[in-house]
Structure formats: structure tokens, C-alpha cells
Amino acid sequence: MKIGVIGGGQLGRMLALAGTPLGMKFVFLDPAHDACAATLGEHIHADYHDHEHLRQLADQVDMVTFEFESVPADTVAFLSQFVPVYPCAESLRIARDRLLEKNLFRSLQIPVAPFAPVDSQTDLEQAVASIGLPAVLKTRTLGYDGKGQKVLRETADVGQAFAELGSVPCILEAFVEFSGEVSLIAVRSRDGISNFYPLVHNTHSNGILRVSIASHQHPLQSLAEQYTAAVLDHLNYVGVMAFEFFEIDGGLKANEIAPRVHNSGHWTIEGAECSQFENHLRAITGLPLGSTAKLGESAMINFIGSVPAISGLAAIADCHVHDYGKAFKEGRKVGHATVRSADSETLRRRLAEIEALMVADK
Ligand code: AMP
């Protein structure tokens, strides 16, 4: 089985690391010369709009999947003429546009913070008048890791906000005073069976995920599963999807979905019976899904900018290092580590040991 992957970053790399033992082969299409997945398969070095190279990809693989959601609609439509594409075009269309996404949640009775579309500075002023401050202005498309968004705390922040985000279509969302952020990684098979990993608690800073903890059974697990199943079934989704929620007043408000394997699911490589990467591949290739049960407790920590010295990390018990082989760049995710333990106290101690190495490295 040969899988085409649009994008050749660390998610593509981890897909290949999971699929290679199953006998799968990978072809990545990515415009970057130094795409970090390229060492694990073939690399078609081309732009996402380049029909000639997209056709070349389609001709040599059994199916195509994606490692990011901002794939141009035209790319998906073009590929779909020649080869099965998972997840489907409609899932990508919704997930890459924050307005369509929020409208879908609302139509499925999934709670969301108040929001309004903003296509001009006048729209923004009207939206602020009805939603109030603080609020978050976000570009409808192409936002990730906190990029393409701006928190508006007071009236003085409103004046230039629309222009500062590039005067592109946006949405304004009420600022959610959440008590925590959680995400659910789910996988749905071609015949409509869904499995869910344990809900994980996430910590962000500057809009970038820092730590995900899969520890105790979360009291909101079944509610998160109910909301996620509603979206998966509505889209007739195939593959792994991540659903990010805000935890507030003992309930959940939907933030966003990612129609792909997700950073907050990296812990599943060592911390679950079958990883999110293997389960995504199982789903799209029509294999039975693997168990999503966790093995003890796990925590994943991202390395931003640089990976601490491997000698230090390797000395920490049950610590599993992933260095993506990417060049240094401020704010770039270049690796992660997952620590495991039978109990949460030891887990936190091991996490603190990694954090100390990260500080020492600075
Ligand atoms: P997003 O790209 O929408 O996931 O936003 C990145 C991060 O910004 C989230 O994980 C939150 O920490 C924060 N954030 C986004 N939207 C809101 C909101 N409406 N209220 C409060 N914090 C938010």
C-alpha cells in the first residue's frame, strides 16, 4: 500500500514511522527543500497548486491524506478525480474556515462562545458592540499556533485590529475565561466506527501547545465524545480528527477541530495501545481500528526552537525523545518528548526533569 501525504513536516514523518512496519510506503508532496518527512519516503518537491506534480503523486499512490488543514480546496478537488482522498473535501473545507466550523458546531448543538463574522472595520465595531470585550479576533483561514489572531482587551485595541490582521475575512469570538483546555483525539473508520482516546489536558503559551497530559479519567470524557461523534458522523469522516475544547463551568465549549493527526495526540505513540498515527492509517486503508486505551499515564512536552541534549533526556526514566531533524527557527516545533509513569506524581517529576533540561539549554 502506497500513501500520498500532502505536506512533509513532522506529522507526515510520524505517519511514516507508524506505517512503515505495516508494510506501507509513503510519498510526500511539499514545496520545502528540507521537508523533515522526506527521509522516510519519496519527496515530490512541488507547490500545492502544481497540477502536473499532483497528478504525478496521484498516479503512484493508492490514496492521499493530509498533514495540515490549510490545503487549497482546488488541490483536494483535483486529486479526488484520480485517487481516494481522506478525510473528504468537505471535512477540509469546514475545518480550514473558522466561521464554517463554528456554524457547524452551532447547528449540531455543540456549545460555542458567542461569535460573529467580520469582513470590515465597521463589522468589527458592530461585533464588539454586541459581543463585548475582551474578545479574540481571528482570521477565518490560515491561522495556526496563535498566528492570525489578536486579543482585544479594551476599546483602544479595536481601532487597528482588522488592518493588523491583514484586512482579510475574520471572526470575532468572545474571550472564554476557561478553567482549562482539553482535546479529544478520535478516529473513524471507513465503515463508520469511531474510537476515542482519553481526553487530554493541554497547556498553551503564546498560542502554541507546550504540554499535553493524559492522566486521570476525565469527568468530561463522555460529553467530549458525544460532541466529537456528532461532527464525525455529520461529515462521514474517515481518519483521525482532533477536537479542542475550553473547559468552563463544569462543561465544554468547542474551540476548533483539526482534520488530521494532532500535536496533542503525540503521547499516543508510546502512551496508547495503538497510536493516533497508526490508527489514522488503519482508518484510511480500511483496516480494523486499533485500541485507543492508554498504557499508564503520559505527558508530552514540545521542544520549541531547539531540542535539549539527548544525553540528558536519555537519562530520564521512560522518556521517549522525538527530534524532527528540523533547522532552528524561533517559535518552531522541532521535537517533543513523551514521559510515562504508573502514577501522576512520578509523571510530574519526570516532566519537571525535562523542563529543567530545557531551561539549562537556553
Ligand atoms: P486557536 O488557534 O483558536 O486554537 O487558539 C490558540 C489558543 O488561543 C487557544 O488554545 C487558547 O489558549 C487561546 N484562545 C483562542 N480562542 C480563545 C477564546 N475565544 N478565548 C480565550 N482564549 C482563546
DSSP string for 348-359? HHHHHHHHHHHH
Give distance in angstroms: CA of 50 to centre of ligand 1: 33
Q: Tell whether ligand 1 has an atom less than 6 A from the beta carbon of residue 148.
A: no
pLDDT tens-digit series, residues 37-94: 999 999 999 999 999 999 999 999 999 999 988 888 889 999 999 999 999 999 999 9
Residue 201 has pLDDT above 80, yes or no: yes
Q: Answer whether 176 contacts ligand 1 (Cβ < 6 A).
A: yes
| Domains along the chain with CATH numbers | 2-85 (3.40.50.20), 114-174 (3.30.1490.20), 180-361 (3.30.470.20)
Residue 333 Cα to ligand 1 midpoint, Å, equals 18
- Is the pLDDT confidence value at 362 over 70? no
Rounded CA-CA distance 51/162 in Å is 34
Instruction: Tell me the three cell numbers of residue 195.
Output: 474510537
Write the residue with the smallest CA distance to atom 16 of ligand 1: 136
Residue 244 CA: which ligand 1 atom is closest? 4
For 327, list phi and psi in degrees, rounded to 5: -70, 150
Largest CA-CA distance found in the chain, in angstroms, rounded: 58
Q: Which ligand 1 atom is at minimum distance from the Cα of 174?
A: 19
Confirm or reject: Cβ of 264 under 6 Å from ligand 1. no
Pocket of ligand 1 contains residue 175 by CB under 6 Å = yes
Question: Looking at the DSSP assignment, which residues form a beta bridge with residue 150?
Answer: 137
- Res 206: pLDDT: 86
C-alpha 253 to ligand 1 mean position (Å): 11
Residue nearest to atom 13 of ligand 1 (CA): 207
Q: State the residue for C-alpha cell 458546531.
A: 105
| 30 Cα–ligand 1 center, Å | 28
**Helix 276-285 to helix 10-19 angle, to the nearest 10 degrees?**
70
Examine the pLDDT at 146 and tell me if it is beyond 80.
Answer: no
Interatomic CA distance for residues 308 and 361, integer angstroms:
6
- pLDDT for residue 130: 97
- How high does pLDDT run on average in the chain? 96
What average pLDDT does this structure show over 263-286? 98
> What is the tens place of the pLDDT at every residue in 319-355?
999 999 998 888 899 999 999 999 999 999 999 999 9
